[in-house]
A and B are shown apart, each in its own frame.
Chain A
Amino acid sequence: MNAPAEKKLFRLVGTRPIRPDGIEKVTGKAIYGPDFVAPNMLQGAILRSPHPHARIRGIDTSKAEVLPGVKAIVTGADFPELDSAMVAGGEAPANIKYMARKCMATDKVVFDGHPVAAVAATSATIAEAAIQLIEVDYEVLPHVIDIEDALRPDAPILHDDLFTQGLPELPTTPSNAAMRVEVRRGDAARALSEAAAVFSGRFTLRPVHQGYIEPHACVASWHADGQAQIWCSTQGHFTVRALTAGILGMEIADIRVVPLEIGGGFGGKTTVYLEPVAVLLSRKAGRPVRLAMKRDDVFRATGPAPGAVIDIRLGAGADGTISGAEVEFKYTGGGFPGAHEVYAGLHCTMSYYNVPDAHIVGWNVLSNIPTVHAYRAPGAPQVNFAVESAMDELARRLGIDPIDIRLRNIARPGDTGGMGMPHGAIGYAETLEAAKAHPHYSAPLGPNQARGVACGSWGNYGGPSTAAVSVAEDGSILVTEGNPDIGGSRASMAIMAAETLGIAYEKVRVVVADTSSIGYSMGTGGSRTTFATGKAVIQAAEAVIAILRERAAKQWNVAAGEVQWGGGEAVHGDRRLSLGQIAAASGTTGGPISAQAAIDPHDYLPGFGVHICDTEVDRETGQVSIVRYTALQDVGRAIHADYVEGQIQGGAVQGIGWALNEAYVYNQAGLLDNPGFLDYRMPVASDMPMIDAVMIEVPNPAHPYGVKGVGETPIVPPLAAVANAVSGAIGIRMCDLPITPDRVYGLLLAAE
């Protein structure tokens, strides 16, 4: 781990104090989504489609209605009619009509597990029994799962009213291709025809799930005056509020969403699945209603990340300078349009390399799987897998060290990079240089072992955040913010507030407030919280300091401009007033001391990672093991070093799982064949080595403490890092994920 000399600049930033919500979480006291109980609460259950694609001819709920204990039943008919309209929320605007249909089908089901009805009853057992009594008359339709199948002329069409967006002319026949996006710069075809080496290849990936351990759960309580309260675990309670209000036609201020502790999200909890249904059930029953998913519901019916088919042609000169790129990627969209991964895929394709001539095309292709949803750097890992695999091949063919070829092409501050936008204070080259100098990169390898390297980037984000800082009567500090703490952000906010105020970390307590108790804050996603909400906290703290200086000035009877703030004290000459002393006197100097900042910063900077992976391949069985792994990342500056390293380590391991074993498997009937943790194989502790996380600190000048955002970048490089290592070990390019033992074995057999 590097420790730059400038670290001493700060007292608390970069240290590793105990998180303020820690005790609750190691003792089992913390209340997560499925833990919350409201008095007189009913238990809900959801009836889900057993077909991947069917028309609903009718739903008969009469038998369920008369079951003793059943208090409410909801179907698609209970949802208001909605026109297509975009509603702000999540990481991007959402089409409210499709959002509603994802929560509850109306005329058609479009994936295995699609909700068709819901029940609230006096016990979970009765609710489960009641949904079995609901009779749905389905006209089963042909289904389609895979991207290429969905694009065939004779493919079953999911939506008769869907015409491909983004073509020069709007087509007249409906299609499963929801959208085409394109970037063209220079003349890629000519550049490729003149290149010294060109790699052409097709890469494929299956959909994968975010895999958070906490299933979705909520409790909703609707009141007769039209107000409602929702308790749920979510990455964005303001998003839950906006989407629920939009779907149900309610006033936003009539809904109060209380965020409970959240058991993982990784992007998957930036939307609604249960909340509008629970509100409707509660409205009918007149009592609070809990809805909670089981694990198979989570896999069958919540957004996986898109699978992909990616064609790439990448050319370079003899010295390794990239001359041109042609990339066409097709991402699965799932049951409904609106997935944003193709935009991110477009922006992330070679964003960190200087590529003068490029032509990049992306497609969002619908099929009978759940609507895909954000998963950590949504849309980036797939296309980056193809790009970094192609870079590896070019390096091999040209006889250039894999890090050297990347250094030759890497964007430096001021360069425009792959997307033609100038880069600010980026540390791409520094991160690559650190990777090259890391002992791992030159360590000897054992038999059947090989080393893979790959880069990856994520743009990060800023966006709207509100935070308040209040001084208690004894001088202790309360920070109120609107971002659910998914991985230690309360600790980061406390560090930044304490650093700014010049006081001890333990003097600051942080509360994640409900939607009615703090101003709007975009959700915890996009690697934005420590950056944007952190900025709001710092600005609010600075505003509090201004008030404290005024108050001290009042006490001393001097001009506020003459009072300095330092070390947690007001200073005037050799006079000092501590925060506690000023707070204690506040009753006579102007009353409570508090400030709020509501901001919308967009001066964020991207993150960049370089991962080094050693694999060992058992050539007889095709089994791949990860024997050593190092992840280096330009983090801007770490606020809480443990949780920055933790993001890097966790993201790397998710990426390794994606590379090796994770995949959605659908059977011939179009039903998900592995909707559980036994057959959806996420890495377990014994599969992994230690993950050496190396923080490279090239601060973001637009943030007082240099924050860039770290959460998403680390899942981008591992797919290619692992694949490049395995390709090196067996001498066969790994173009298809996951790299399961039977796949490796099959390739080795075919090569013999």
Chain B
Amino acid sequence: MSSPAYHAPETIEQAVALLAGDTGARPLAGGTDIIVQMRSGRSAPSAIVDLKRIAGIGGVRPLPGGGFAIGATMPCTSLKDDAALAAAWPGVVEAANLIGSVQVRNRATLAGNLCNASPAADSVPALVAAGATCLVAGPHGERVVPVADIPAGPGRTSLAPGEFVVEIRLPPQAGADAYLRATPRTEMDIAVVGVGASLALNADGICTAARIAVGAVAPTVLLVGDAGAALVGTRLDAAALERMADAVRAACRPIDDKRGTAEYRTAMAGVLAGRVVKIALERAGSKA
């Protein structure tokens, strides 16, 4: 029956101190996962540390040398309003804007989607494909970690006690990205499979770099190195795409659950990978 404490720190240091001082404390950004978990009894934090009063972590900041830093409390819908970000990383922005509904996305954040550590999180495959990192603050100072290293398993992260994600950093865009997911409904749904792709092409249309990441087919999002490798050095012809899809399917190790069978998830990972690479290619081509 005991209610958690509620704190609204105004600096990163205060937030770290509150989180480090109480192992049962949980950070609150958009709240669209944790409030549901608290209500259903799946989570019973001893304290809520609301990050939204911390100055400077609610927006997008261009990084020196290109790239973007997206603050931990910036809602997903606001990503669309940043024209430079949306032009550079449309896949990331679209992925973040498939989560839940408009109401949910007006609260939900990239950092929250990442740290909730759901294997089916929509934005995470797009961030991993993009090669995003995050700035983590904690009792021992700050560190920069690849986004892919944050989820440790369903509902678990690699963050140490007292640590939280301050911002997510996207590198300079060298090509284009895209994200697609499979869901039975058009909106308000959880990905049965989600695939993010990020590509770079040279002036001759040869793929020089490719990262393919797949969600909801393993305990954490998979970065499928073989899939990217199958594309590099090609013109993304049908044969290369088929080798890429084969590599994606080979990497999948999903479970059967109420949202889809393992067989279906693996098959869809291949189908969506082919489609998402085509979208990224089209985007990269139109930029070249």
Contact = CB atoms under 8 A, between A and B. Distances in A.
B186 A684 contact: yes
Interface in A41-83: none
Nearest to B267: A745
B242 to A, nearest CB: 13
A620 interface: yes
A684 B189 CA distance: 10
A683 B189 CA distance: 11
Contacts of A683: 185
Contacts of B185: 661, 681, 683-684, 686-687
A301 to B, nearest CB: 16
Interface in A304-360: none
A661 B186 contact: no
A135 interface: no
A741 B184 contact: yes
Nearest to B186: A686
Interface residues of B, number: 20
Contacts of B267: 745, 749
Interface string B184-224: 11111110100000000000000000000000000000000
Contacts of B40: 296
B264 A620 contact: no
B271 A621 contact: yes
B105 to A, nearest CB: 14
Interface in B144-201: 182, 184-190, 192
B260 interface: yes
Nearest to B272: A621
Contacts of B182: 621, 623, 741
A661 B184 contact: yes
B184 to A, nearest CB: 5
A391 B188 CA distance: 35
Contacts of B186: 684, 686-687
A684 B188 contact: yes
Interface in B108-132: none
A745 B188 contact: no
Interface in B15-49: 40
A620 B188 contact: no
A704 interface: no
Contact of B184 (A620, A665, A681): A681
A126 interface: yes
Interface in A527-577: none
B92 interface: no
B268 interface: yes
B179 to A, nearest CB: 16
B213 to A, nearest CB: 19
A741 B261 CA distance: 11
A155 interface: no
Interface string B233-271: 000000000000000000000000011110110011001
B264 A746 contact: yes
Interface string A620-648: 11110000000000000000000000000
Contacts of B264: 622, 741-742, 745-746
A194 interface: no
A134 to B, nearest CB: 14
Contacts of B271: 620-621
B268 A621 contact: yes
Nearest to A740: B184
Interface string A677-717: 11101011011000000000000000000000000000000
A745 B260 CA distance: 11
Nearest to A130: B1
A460 to B, nearest CB: 33
Given A673-B258, A746-B264, A678 B1 contact: no
A686 B187 contact: yes
Contacts of A620: 271
Contacts of A125: 1
Interface string A715-752: 00000000000000000000000001110011001000
Nearest to B275: A620
A501 B103 CA distance: 48
B8 to A, nearest CB: 22
Nearest to A665: B258
A248 interface: no
Interface residues of A, number: 29
A57 B251 CA distance: 50
A660 B184 contact: yes
Interface string A660-674: 110001010000011
A679 B257 CA distance: 11
Given A129-B1, A665-B258, A742-B260, A684 B187 contact: yes
B82 to A, nearest CB: 25
A687 B184 CA distance: 10
Contacts of A665: 258
A126 B271 CA distance: 51
A683 B263 CA distance: 25
A175 B263 CA distance: 37
A660 to B, nearest CB: 7
Nearest to B2: A129
Contacts of B184: 623, 660-661, 681, 740-741
Contacts of B260: 742
B216 to A, nearest CB: 13
A126 B258 contact: no
A55 B3 CA distance: 34
Nearest to B257: A673
Nearest to A123: B1
B35 to A, nearest CB: 14
A674 B267 CA distance: 24
Contacts of B192: 741-742
A125 B184 CA distance: 37
Contacts of B263: 746
A742 B261 contact: yes
A129 B2 CA distance: 9
Contacts of A660: 184
Contacts of B259: 679
Contacts of A745: 264, 267-268
Contacts of A677: 188
A623 B189 CA distance: 14
Interface in A107-144: 125-126, 128-129
Specify which of B184, B188, B192, B271 lies most central, judged by the most chain A CB atoms within 10 Å of its CB.
B184
Given A661-B185, A684-B185, A745-B267, A678 B190 contact: yes
B215 to A, nearest CB: 16
B211 to A, nearest CB: 23
Nearest to B274: A620
A463 to B, nearest CB: 38
Contacts of B1: 125-126, 128-129
A741 B193 CA distance: 12
A82 B259 CA distance: 43
A621 B40 CA distance: 33
B258 A674 contact: yes
Nearest to B265: A742
Contacts of A681: 184-185, 189
Contacts of A684: 185-188
B188 A678 contact: yes
A326 to B, nearest CB: 34
Given A125-B1, A742-B192, 14 more contacts: A128-B1, A296-B40, A623-B182, A661-B185, A667-B258, A673-B258, A679-B258, A681-B185, A683-B185, A684-B186, A684-B187, A687-B187, A742-B260, A745-B268
9 contacts: A667-B258, A677-B188, A678-B188, A678-B189, A679-B259, A681-B185, A684-B185, A745-B267, A749-B267
Interface of B: 1, 40, 182, 184-190, 192, 258-261, 263-264, 267-268, 271
Shortest 9 CB-CB contacts between residues of A and residues of B: A129-B1, A742-B264, A686-B186, A665-B258, A673-B258, A620-B271, A686-B187, A661-B184, A684-B188
Interface of A: 125-126, 128-129, 296, 620-623, 660-661, 665, 667, 673-674, 677-679, 681, 683-684, 686-687, 740-742, 745-746, 749
